[in-house]
C-alpha cells in the first residue's frame, strides 16, 4: 500500500488558503474600483453602477462554482463589504466616496443583493443544496421510517 506524504495535504491547504486570500483581495480591489467608478451615467441610467453589480455577482458566483463551495463565494464578498463600509463613513471634511444619489443606491444595495444572490446560488461544499438536503439531528437515522 502506498503512503501519502503529509506534505501533500498541507500543500493543498496552503494553496486553498492562498486562493481564498486572493479572492478577498479581489473583493477589496472591486470595492475600491467600484466606489470611485460607479457614478457614470448614460442619460438618466447609472450604467457603471449596474455594471459593477453584475461583476460582483459574476465574481462571487464564479468563485463559488470554481472552488465548489460557498466559502469561496463569500471571500470576495467579505473584501467588498469591508472596503465599502469604510467608504460609507463620514469624514471630518464632510466628504464621502459613495454619494447619496441614484448611482450610489444602485451600487450599494444592488451590490449587496448581488453578493447575497451569488453566495446563495453557489453550490454547497458537500455537493447538494444546503437548503434542500436532509440533515440528521441527534443520534437517529436521517431517513424516514
Grid-cell match 459574476, residue found: 58
Residue-wise pLDDT for 26-47, tens only, equals 999 999 999 999 888 898 999 9
Residue 136, pLDDT score? 65
Q: Can you give the pLDDT at residue 134? A: 65
- Cα(4)–Cα(90) distance, rounded to whole angstroms? 55
Rg (CA), the chain: 20
pLDDT of the residue at 4: 45
Q: How far apart are CA 38 and CA 47, in angstroms?
A: 8
More confident residue, 126 or 88: 88
pLDDT at residue 50 above 80? yes
| Set of cell numbers at residue 12 | 493543498
pLDDT digits (tens, 9 = 90+) for 92-135: 887 788 888 898 999 999 999 999 999 999 988 766 555 556 66
User: What is the predicted pLDDT for the residue at 80?
Assistant: 96
| Per-residue pLDDT tens over the stretch 60-78 | 999 999 998 899 999 999 9
pLDDT, tens digit, 9 for 90 and up, residues 9-29: 788 889 989 999 999 999 999
CA distance 98 to 112: 14
What span, in angstroms and rounded, lies between the C-alpha atoms of 40 and 50?
10
Alpha-carbon span 107 to 32, nearest angstrom: 12
Contact 121, 61 (CB under 8 A): yes
Residue 22's alpha-carbon distances to 28, 72, 78, in angstroms, are 10, 10, 12
pLDDT at residue 33 in the model: 94
Res 113: pLDDT:
97
Amino acid at each position: 500500500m502506498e503512503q501519502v506524504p503529509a506534505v501533500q495535504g498541507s500543500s493543498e491547504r496552503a494553496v486553498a488558503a492562498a486562493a481564498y486570500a486572493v479572492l478577498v483581495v479581489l473583493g477589496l480591489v472591486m470595492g475600491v474600483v467600484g466606489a470611485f467608478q460607479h457614478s457614470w451615467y448614460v442619460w438618466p441610467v447609472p450604467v457603471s453602477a449596474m455594471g459593477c453589480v453584475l461583476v460582483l455577482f459574476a465574481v462571487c458566483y464564479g468563485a463559488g462554482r470554481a472552488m465548489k463551495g460557498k466559502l469561496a463565494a463569500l471571500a470576495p464578498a467579505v473584501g467588498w463589504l469591508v472596503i465599502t463600509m469604510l467608504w460609507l463613513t463620514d469624514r471630518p471634511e464632510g466628504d464621502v466616496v459613495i454619494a447619496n444619489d441614484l448611482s450610489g443606491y444602485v451600487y450599494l444595495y444592488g451590490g449587496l443583493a448581488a453578493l447575497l444572490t451569488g453566495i446563495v446560488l453557489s453550490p454547497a461544499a458537500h455537493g447538494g443544496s444546503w437548503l434542500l438536503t436532509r440533515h440528521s439531528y441527534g443520534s437517529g437515522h436521517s431517513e424516514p421510517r
